[in-house]
A and B are shown apart, each in its own frame.
Chain A
Amino acid sequence: MVLQFFTIDVFFYLIVGLLFFFIIGILPVVGSIQGLAILLPLVYKLDPPQAFALMIGGASGMWLSDAACSILLKIPGSSPTVPLTFDGFQLTRRGLHGYALGAATSATILGGIISGIITYGIMSVLLLLLMFLGPAEITIIIAWGLIASIILLIGKEKIKELLSAIIGLLLSTVGFAETAHIARFTFGFYDLWDGIPLSVFFLAMLGLPEFLGFLVRREEFIVDIKYLTYVGGFRTREFYKKFIEGFKEIFRSIRIFVQAIITGLIFGIIPGVGTTAASLLAYAQSGLLTKRKEKLGEGNVDGVIGPQSAIISCWFGDFIPTISFGIPGSAAKALFLGLFMMKGLMPGPHILKQVDLVNYILLLVVIGVLLGSILIIPLLPVITRIVTIRITSWVPILLGIIFIAVYSDRSSLFDLFLLFILTLLGYSLNKYGFSTPMVAIGFVLGGILEQNVALTYQIYGLSFLYKPTSLILIIILVAVTIVSLRMLRRKQIIAMGEEDD
C-alpha cells in the first residue's frame, strides 16, 4: 500500500524540503537544479522514502514562489517562469499583483491535480509519445511556436519587433556547434562554448534593463497611484480580494488551461526540449485562444495561466521517461536519476511493476505541488510588499543577490562581464523601441529549433516533411492557427466596432 511510505519522518522531511525550496524559488535566478544539487550530497544517509520526500516533494512545491518572483519583479525565479514576466509584471505595474498571483496559484494547484491524475492514469500511453515525437516533430512544433509568438506579440512597431526576434535567434547561435564542429561568436572565450547562460540572458534582457529604466525615469514599480499609498499600510484584505478574483479566472480560461496541460505533458516526455520551451509555447497558445480584451504582453491574465499550467504539467511529464527508461526529461530529472541510483533503484520498465513505489513518487509530487502552493498563500501579502517599497531602497540589495547568484552558477567572473554587456544591449533595445520579450522568445526557441533542424536534416534530409507524424502535425497546427487567427480577427473587429460606438 502507498500509505505505508507516509510516516511521520517522511512528512517532516517533506516540510523541510518545501521550506527549503520556497526560499530557492523566491530567490531570483536560482532554480530547482541548484536547490537539488545542494541537497543531493546530504541525502546519502537517508532512507529512500525520506530522501524522495525531501527532494522530489520539496522541489515540486517551489513553482509558485518561482512564479511570484517573476510576476512581482520581472526577474525570472528560474528559466521556465520567463513568460510570466511578460504579462504578470504588467499586471503588477497596474497594482494587480494579487490578481496575477491568484491566477498563478489556481494554475499551479489545479494543474498539479489534473496532471497527477493524467500521469497516473495513462502513463503507458504517454510513454508511447516518446516513440513518435522525435527531432522532426519537435522542429515543426517549435517552428510553429516561434511563428505564432511573433504573429501574436507583434505590435505597432512591426519591423523593430521582427528584428528583435532575429536578434534573439542570432544570440542563440553563440557557442560551439557540434554539427559543424566550429565555435561561433565565442571570440576565443571557452566560457561561451556552451552558449550564453540562460540565467545571464534573461536577467540582462528582461530584468535589469527594466530596473535601469525605472531608475532613469525616476519611476516606481507600481504606476497606479492608488496602490502606491499602500506604502507603510499594506491592506491584506484588499490583496486577498484581488487574489480570489484572479484565482477564479482559470474557470474562464479552461481551454487555455487544458491546452497548456497537454503541451506541458508532451514536452515533459520528450527529452532535451525543456520546461522553458513548454512554457513559451503555452504562452503563444494562450495568445491564440484568449477571449479577453487585453492583448498578450499588455497584462492579459491568460499569459500567466497558460505558462504556469504548462510548467506544472511538464514537471509531471518529465518523470515518465526518467522512471520508465532512465532517460531524464530535463536537467532536474537527471538529478533525480542520480538520486534513484544512489538509493539502489534502477529505472526501467520493471519499475512500473512496483506499483506502490511509482504511486508513492507521483503522490509525493502532487502533495508537494499542493502543499507548496497552500503554504505560501499566507506569506504572499508579506512578499508582495516589496513592490510597494521605494525602488531605490531595495534594488541595490537585489543587485547584490543577482551578482552573487550569477557568479556562483559557474564560479565565473566572465559571467558577470557578460551580464554587464548584455544588460547594456538589453537596455538599449528597450530604449529604442525593440521588444526584449521577442528577443527572449527568439533566443530560447531558436536554440532548440536549430538543434532539432540539424538533427532532422542529418537523419531524414528534407523527406521529414513526408513522415506521417509530420504531416498530421502540420495539418493540425495550420488548422488551429487559421481558426484561432480568424477568432482573433473577429474579436478585433468587434472591439473596433465598440470603440466607434
Chain B
Amino acid sequence: MPGSKAKEIGLLTIITIFIKVFFVSEGKVGRRDFLKYLSTGIGGLVVGGVLGYLTSSYTITTTPVTEVKTTITQTVKPARYFEGKTIELVVPYSAGGGYDLATRSLANYIPKYVKGATPVVINRPGGQALLGPAYVWSSKPDGLTVCLANAYGNAYLSLTKEYNQPFTIFDFLPLGRITWGQEVAVVAKNSPIKTVEDFKKLGRNVKIGATGLGAESGIPALMTFSLLNIPFEMVLGFSGSGEVIASLMRGEVDVYVVDEDTAYQNMMAGSVRPILTVAAQRIKQFGDVPALGELVTKEQLRLVELHDNIDKLGRLLIAHPKTPSEVYDAWQDLLKDIFVDADFIEEQEKIRSFKPALGDKMKQLIKEIKPSLSEFKEALKKVYPEL
C-alpha cells in the first residue's frame, strides 16, 4: 500500500511519544510540558504525512508513474501472479452492506484459485462512494489494489456540478462486473396512480423522492419525467431507500425511482407497486409494467439507451489505469474461474442477482458510453439547470 509504512510510522510515533512521556513523567505534566509533547506529536504526524506523500502517487494525473515490472511468462497460468501477494479489495461503503458482502464473498474465493494469495478487504466509505475509487487512484499501479465501485452511481455523480475529482469512473481499468440492475419507478401500493398517464392528471407537480441528485434515484428520475413531459419537483435529502419508501406510504411523495432489486423486494413485501421500468425494454420479473423506451420518441430513445448503458456498468471491479497488461490478464484469468464457481454464484445470488461480465466486455461498454456523456449531461441540464 503506498505510503502505508510511513503512515504507520507516524501513528506509532505518536503512540510511543505519549506512552514514553506519561510513563517517564509519571503524570507530572504541566502546561508547558503538555504543549511540548503536543508539538512533538504533531511533528510525528507531519513526518509521517510527508513520508506518506513522498512514497505515494497522489498527483497521478500529470506525474508519470514508474511502470511496474512483472515476471509473468506466457507458459505460466496468469493468475499465479497473485501467489504470495496481498490483494487489497476496497469497498466504498461501510461494512455489512451489499457491496461489502459481495466483496468479502469474492475475497473468500481468491485463495481457492490462487494458493498463497492473501485478499484483504478495506472499507473506505464516504464522499458519496468516491473515496473507494480515490484510494485506488492514489495507489501503486500494480493491480493489487482494486475497488468494487458503484460505477453507475459514480457515473451519474460525475455529471453534477459539484464533482471535482481528478478522475471519473471511466478513467479506471475495468476488471469485471459483479452485477447490474435497472431502475423502476414505484408508487405506494394503495396509491391512486395506476399508470403513467395518471401523473399528468394530478394537476400539480409530481413529487419525486430521492436521496440526492447525484444518486441512482436522482438522475434517472430527472430523465424519466422530463422525457415524458410531466411536471415534477424533486424532494431531496432522504437518508436511504427505507425512508423514501416510508414517505411514499405516507403519501408525502408520489413516486420513487429505485433499483430493480430493491423495487422487487419491496413489491413482495407489499409496500410498493411498480409503475414504469426506467429502461429501453421491459424487465421480465415485473411482468406487464411498461418500459420508458415504449413511451418516448425515437430521438429520445437514444438517451434512454445511453442511460441503460450507464446502468450496465453496475458494481464494477476497477483497478488503477496504469496497471500492466500482464496483471490485467491475471485478473481476467482469476475472475473467469471465480465467476463460474457454483458456490460463489449461489452466495452472490443471495446478496443480489449475479450478472457477471469480464473486463473486455466492460471496456467495450465504456468505449460506447464515453462519447455520448456530454450530450446526456446537456440534455439533463436543459430540464434541471441546478444539475
Q: Does B144 contact A (CB under 8 A)?
A: no
Contact with B along A156-182 (1 / 0, CB 8 A): 000000000000000000001111011
Q: Tell me how many residues of A have a C-beta within 8 Å of chain B.
A: 73
Selected contact of B237 from candidates A134, A179, A321, CB within 8 Å: A179
Segment among B59-67, B158-166, B193-201 that sits at the interface with chain A: B158-166
Contact with A along B91-102 (1 / 0, CB 8 A): 000111110110
Residue of A nearest to B261 (CB): A341
**Given known contacts A130-B246, A403-B15, is B34 in contact with A212 (CB within 8 Å)?**
yes
Contact call A134/B126, Cβ cutoff below 8 A: no
CB neighbors of B among A24-52 (8 A): 33-34, 36-38, 40-41, 44
Q: Does B236 contact A (CB under 8 A)?
A: yes
Contact with B along A112-136 (1 / 0, CB 8 A): 0000000000000000001110110
Contact call B240/A272, Cβ cutoff below 8 A: yes
Segment among B18-26, B73-81, B296-304, B374-382 that sits at the interface with chain A: B18-26
**Given known contacts A181-B386, A392-B25, is B124 in contact with A410 (CB within 8 Å)?**
yes
Min CB gap A42→B, angstroms: 10
Contact call A459/B108, Cβ cutoff below 8 A: no
**Given known contacts A33-B96, A190-B127, is B29 in contact with A215 (CB within 8 Å)?**
yes
Q: Does B30 contact A (CB under 8 A)?
A: yes
CA distance A334 to B100 in the complex (A): 13
Q: Does B307 contact A (CB under 8 A)?
A: no
- Neighbouring A residues of B123 by C-beta, 8 Å: 37, 410-411
Q: Does A444 contact B (CB under 8 A)?
A: no
Contact call A181/B160, Cβ cutoff below 8 A: yes
CA distance A338 to B105 in the complex (A): 14
- Neighbouring B residues of A393 by C-beta, 8 Å: 22-23
Q: Does A232 contact B (CB under 8 A)?
A: no
- Neighbouring B residues of A455 by C-beta, 8 Å: 235, 237-238, 247
- Neighbouring B residues of A188 by C-beta, 8 Å: 164
CB neighbors of A among B1-58 (8 A): 7, 10-11, 14-15, 18-19, 22-23, 25-31, 34, 42, 45, 49, 52
Segment among B110-118, B264-272, B362-370 that sits at the interface with chain A: B264-272
Interface centre among A338, A390, A407 (most CB of B within 10 A): A338
Q: Does B291 contact A (CB under 8 A)?
A: no
Contact call A407/B245, Cβ cutoff below 8 A: no
Q: Does A346 contact B (CB under 8 A)?
A: yes
Selected contact of B246 from candidates A321, A397, A399, CB within 8 Å: A321
- Neighbouring B residues of A390 by C-beta, 8 Å: 27
Contact call B29/A216, Cβ cutoff below 8 A: yes
Count, A-B residue pairs, CB within 8 A: 215
CA distance A454 to B211 in the complex (A): 12
CA distance A402 to B237 in the complex (A): 32
- Neighbouring B residues of A193 by C-beta, 8 Å: 126-128, 130
Q: Does A377 contact B (CB under 8 A)?
A: no
Q: Does B249 contact A (CB under 8 A)?
A: yes
Min CB gap B119→A, angstroms: 12
Q: Does B178 contact A (CB under 8 A)?
A: no
Contact call B161/A181, Cβ cutoff below 8 A: yes
**Given known contacts A272-B243, A390-B27, A410-B126, is B250 in contact with A131 (CB within 8 Å)?**
yes
CA distance A52 to B19 in the complex (A): 41
Min CB gap B387→A, angstroms: 8
Contact call A413/B34, Cβ cutoff below 8 A: no
Q: Does A7 contact B (CB under 8 A)?
A: no
Q: Does B184 contact A (CB under 8 A)?
A: no
Selected contact of B212 from candidates A135, A178, A325, A331, CB within 8 Å: A178
Selected contact of A342 from candidates B122, B249, B271, B350, CB within 8 Å: B350
CA distance A190 to B94 in the complex (A): 16
- Neighbouring B residues of A451 by C-beta, 8 Å: 237, 239
Contact call B34/A216, Cβ cutoff below 8 A: yes
Residue of A nearest to B124 (CB): A411
Segment among A84-92, A98-106, A347-355 that sits at the interface with chain B: A347-355
Min CB gap B188→A, angstroms: 11
Q: A328-B240, A411-B122 are in contact. List 5 more A-B contacts (CB 8 A).
A: A190-B127, A190-B130, A325-B269, A420-B45, A455-B247
The contact sample of 11 A-B pairs, CB cut-off 8 A, is A37-B96, A178-B212, A181-B161, A218-B29, A342-B101, A350-B270, A392-B22, A396-B15, A403-B14, A413-B49, A459-B247
Chain A contacts to B: CB under 8 angstroms: 33-34, 36-38, 40-41, 44, 130-132, 134-135, 176-179, 181-183, 188, 190-191, 193-194, 212, 215-216, 218, 270-272, 321, 325-329, 331, 334-335, 338, 341-342, 344, 346-350, 390-393, 395-397, 399-400, 403, 407, 410-413, 416-417, 420, 451, 454-455, 458-459
8 closest residue pairs by CB, A with B: A37-B95, A348-B269, A190-B127, A392-B27, A327-B242, A396-B19, A178-B212, A37-B96
